[in-house]
Amino acid sequence: MNEIAATLAARALRIGRRIISRPRIDMPLALGLLALALIGLTVLFSASNLDKGMVAGQAMRFLAGAALLVAVSRIPPSLLRAWTPWFYVLAVLLLVVVKVLGEGQGAHRWLDIGVIRFQPSELMKLAMPMMIAWYLHPRPLPPRWRDVLVTCVLIALPAYLIFKQPDLGTALLVAASGVFVVFLAGLQWWKLGAAIAGLGVAAPVAWHWHFMHGYQRQRILTFLHPDRDPLGSGWHILQSMIAVGSGGLLGKGFNHGTQSKLEFLPEHTTDFIFAVLGEEFGLIGVLLLLAMYAFIVARCLWIAANARDTWSRLVAGAFALAFMVYVIVNGGMITGLLPVVGVPLPLVSYGGTSAITLLTGFGVVMSIHAHKKWTP
């Protein structure tokens, strides 16, 4: 027994040494993510009213995510690419399971498997670009109409499942991450324009057919007229704008945000944590955070551009663009630019699945970076 343990320990040690001595990690990206995670924990500490347990829990999730990141970064992209269809099918199946198991509850987004609860829709944020890239990479690019049609189906299926959860925001973002692959694959601008125009026509139709849930329609109406019902659904937007606006240039200081402390700001540890940051750290803090995100995205795109194969490029690029979109949507939501859709601020909002999935995604990017010199 001891021998086996010793062998295992020696092996783990060897692997650890190899990771350190021959890093597969892109240091600028890693440092950016670390800084982001630290900012996230700081803001969460304040937003949770100095709840150490909550911050420790989130830190644990970050560590788990980091471990996954390192692990995934060791896997060659060719292998990841080969697993992609299975990953995608698994994620779709999980969505179906959630749909079936969650029957009877208001919104079923969560899957409870004993120790961990997670949202399969978050998993899809990663599975989607991987899958579309997998489908497109052996085919002539820019994609032909036929291929676009297939990708459309591949995008629409999980997006629809998520939309019916119901989670309009995530559905749109998941779909966007697929669309980004097609965009990066070089689909002609006019075709892209046509597709978007088609969507523009479809939206009112969906509205008309009562395709949307009442609360989804309500959210959009509220977004259009936030003052209509200041204590109802307009409350979120209004209080969030008050939080951000009252923060001013320099903010009210750590733990001094009245809007979040006094519970005026709803969901202030999750979807609205950006407003807490805006209130306590002001415009300076907001711009610093946005710059941080932009840097991470730029770095990912740089890695993508230098990747050796099409799949890697498309996955890393689409993931980076989708990541940026989460930030934009969340920022737009809390400042009243966009309707309230439950989209967390990546790596800052409290929540495990999102953080772990994102870090895993960065693990894929790291792997692409580490293996760019090798023949896949």
Partner 1 sequence: MNDHRELPDERLRRARFARRALAGFAIMLAMVLAVAGRFVYLQVYEHAEYSTQAKANRVRLRHLPPPRGLIYDSEGKLLADNVPAFRLDVVPDKVRHMDAMLHRLSMLVPLTPDDIRRFKQSLRQYRSFESVPLKFRLTESERDRFAIDQWQFPSVSITPYLTRNYPYGAEFAHVLGYVGRIDEKEQQRLDPDLYAGTTHVGKTGLEKEYENLLHGSPGYEVVEVNADQRPLRVLQQVAAKPGKNLYLTIDERLQRATYKAFDGQTGAAVAIDPRNGDVLAMVTVPSFDPNLFVNGISQADYSALLDNPEKPLLDRAMRGGYPPGSTVKPFLGLGGLELGLRKPADTVLSTGTWYIPGSSRGYRDDTRYGAGRVNLVQAITQSVNTYFYSLAYQMGIGRFDQWMSKFGFGRPTGIDLPDETGGVLPSPGWKRATFDKPWYPGETVIAGIGQGYWMVTPLQMAHALTVLADGGVSRTPHLLAATSDGLKAPEVAYPQAPPVQITHAPADLEAVKQGMLGVVYDKLGTAYGLGDGFPYLIAGKTGTAERYSRTTNAYNNDKNLAYLAKRHRAWFICYAPANHPRIAIAVALEHGAWGGSAAAPIARKMLDQWLADTPPAQRPPLPVTAVAGSPPSSVRGTP
Residues interacting with partner 1, by CB under 8 A?
138, 141-142, 180, 183-186, 231, 239, 241-249, 258-259, 262-264, 278, 282-283, 286-287, 290, 293-294, 297-298, 301, 304-305, 308-310, 313-314, 317, 321, 324-325, 327-328, 331-332, 335-337, 375-376
CA angle 9, 13, 19 (to 5 degrees): 145
Q: Is 117 helix (H, G, I), strand (E, B) or coil?
A: strand
Cβ closest to partner 1, residue 94 vs residue 340:
340
CB of 187 to partner 1, least distance (A): 9
Burial of 372 (0-12, 13-18, 19+ CB in 10 A): middle
Cβ closest to partner 1, residue 111 vs residue 301:
301
CB of 31 to partner 1, least distance (A): 20
Bridging pattern class, strands 111-113 and 116-118? antiparallel
Q: Which two tokens stand for residue 303?
A: 């890695």
Cβ closest to partner 1, residue 37 vs residue 345:
345
Cβ closest to partner 1, residue 206 vs residue 250:
250
Q: Among 247, 304, 240, 303, which Cα is nearest to 280's?
A: 247
Q: Is 191 helix (H, G, I), strand (E, B) or coil?
A: helix
CB of 209 to partner 1, least distance (A): 30
Q: Is the dihedral of CA 326, 327, 330, 332 positive or negative?
A: negative
CB of 328 to partner 1, least distance (A): 5
Q: Which two tokens stand for residue 86?
A: 């299975």
CB of 335 to partner 1, least distance (A): 4
CB of 294 to partner 1, least distance (A): 6
Cβ closest to partner 1, residue 30 vs residue 286:
286
CB of 297 to partner 1, least distance (A): 7
Alpha-carbon distance of 269 to 257, in angstroms, equals: 13
Cβ pair 303, 36 in contact under 8 A: no
Cβ closest to partner 1, residue 157 vs residue 305:
305
Residue spans of alpha helices (H) in 48-76: 52-74
Q: How far is CA 36 from CA 160, 306, 313, 346, in A?
A: 32, 24, 24, 9
Alpha-carbon distance of 300 to 30, in angstroms, equals: 11
Cβ closest to partner 1, residue 60 vs residue 305:
305
CB of 113 to partner 1, least distance (A): 34
Cβ closest to partner 1, residue 73 vs residue 259:
259
Cβ closest to partner 1, residue 245 vs residue 342:
245
CB of 102 to partner 1, least distance (A): 28
Q: Is the dihedral of CA 270, 272, 276, 278 positive or negative?
A: positive
CA dihedral 284, 41, 255, 263 (to 10 degrees): 110
CA dihedral 101, 106, 110, 116 (to 10 degrees): -90
Q: How many CA atoms lie within 13 A of 161 on its CB side?
A: 23
Cβ closest to partner 1, residue 113 vs residue 249:
249
CB of 353 to partner 1, least distance (A): 24
Q: Is 232 helix (H, G, I), strand (E, B) or coil?
A: coil
The 10 Å Cβ neighbour count of residue 353 is 21
